Amino acid sequence: MSRLHVVSGKGGTGKTTVAAALALALAMEGRRTLLVEVEGRQGIAQVFETEPLPYEERRIAMAPGGSGEVHALAIDAERALLDYLQMFYRLGSAGRALQKIGAVDFATTVAPGLRDVLLTGKACEAVRRKDRSGRFVYDAVVMDAPPTGRITRFLNVNDEVAGLARIGPIHTQAQAVMRVLKSPETAVHLVTLLEEMPVQETVDGVAELRAAGLPVGGVVINMTRPAVLDAAAVDAAAGPARAEVVGALTRAGLGGARPGASAERLMEPLLAQAREHAERVALESAQYTELTSLGLPTYALAQLPDGVDLGGLYRQARELHRQGPL
């Protein structure tokens, strides 16, 4: 069973909401879960309708019935670097002095890949952390990760660092992080919509992750909409069933003074909308087939009619929980 869940997806697919819903779904299984943000957008705080997250782990939600709980952390690269310097070099106040003169900010901004090393390292530390009794502090860690276009490089940066630094604590830390990221206890989930660009980016992302030896989990299809009519039904409404449809519209009170006259005028605009819907259904069906060809577990979350509020987030969590563990 996976302990680190990395959630990625093309921008606009709702990956932060899905990551939050997944953390709640895991808590519904009785797990103590940590939800981690690495992009500095405070998206988790917005989804949970709470104050901006500090650089500390704090509980932000309980699963219904109190079976599990969700803690959250917004990882700050500068603070993570100070933690790293203290952990391996015992710099203490010297590290804080570096922060005051701007050296820490300079390092995390300029050094190639250093920011990603710190962010992934902090998340993996939470996965490995144990209490005094030897039990894991968190049963699961969910990372709201960068978009699909850069997720492989983001996760694989420690492999590159381990190759550059052949010895010493940097090499040791990079290897430890990659052991977590490439192990069976990690799963990288991709969030998509049933649209051409997000689906293609998901297909490409899966290929890149597999080529890098990173474990791919499932595909979450977000914001799905019900298929009401297909092309055959539209053709029938425009042809042999037209009189029946007009009659139904009339009985619904759309006939006006002359029975059938007003309803007949509605037919063409209604048929135009129906054709657009049927075309969308056909396109989404083709995109769904492409996703299922990846051979990965697939999950679907319906589009919330009123947008994502806290109640909608819990509904999505229950739906993920119902569809099975990711």
Q: What is the pLDDT along the chain (326 residues), one digit of tens a residue?
A: 899 999 999 999 999 999 999 999 999 999 999 999 998 899 999 999 999 998 899 999 999 876 899 999 999 877 776 676 665 555 555 445 555 545 445 445 545 577 788 889 889 999 999 999 999 999 999 999 999 999 999 999 877 665 545 555 666 777 888 999 999 999 999 999 999 999 999 999 999 999 999 999 999 999 998 888 887 877 887 889 888 888 888 888 775 555 556 777 888 888 888 888 888 889 999 999 999 999 999 999 999 887 789 999 999 999 999 998 78
As beta bridge partners, residue 69 has: 32, 62
How high is the pLDDT of residue 256? Answer: 55
How high is the pLDDT of residue 101? Answer: 47
CA distance 225 to 317: 18
Structure tokens at 63: 């699963």
Nearest CA among 49, 214, 39, 67 for reference residue 139: 67
Cβ contact 16:44 at 8 Å: yes
Q: What is the pTM of this model?
A: 0.86
Nearest CA among 222, 159, 175 for reference residue 16: 222
Residues 6+ apart with CB under 8 A from 313: 17, 20, 21, 24, 47, 48
How high is the pLDDT of residue 4? Answer: 98
Cβ contact 310:48 at 8 Å: yes
Structure tokens at 109: 């901004």
Alpha-carbon 159 to chain mean position = 24
Residues 6+ apart with CB under 8 A from 268: none
How high is the pLDDT of residue 176? Answer: 84
Q: What are the backbone angles phi and psi of residue 106, rounded to the nearest 5°?
A: -60, -45
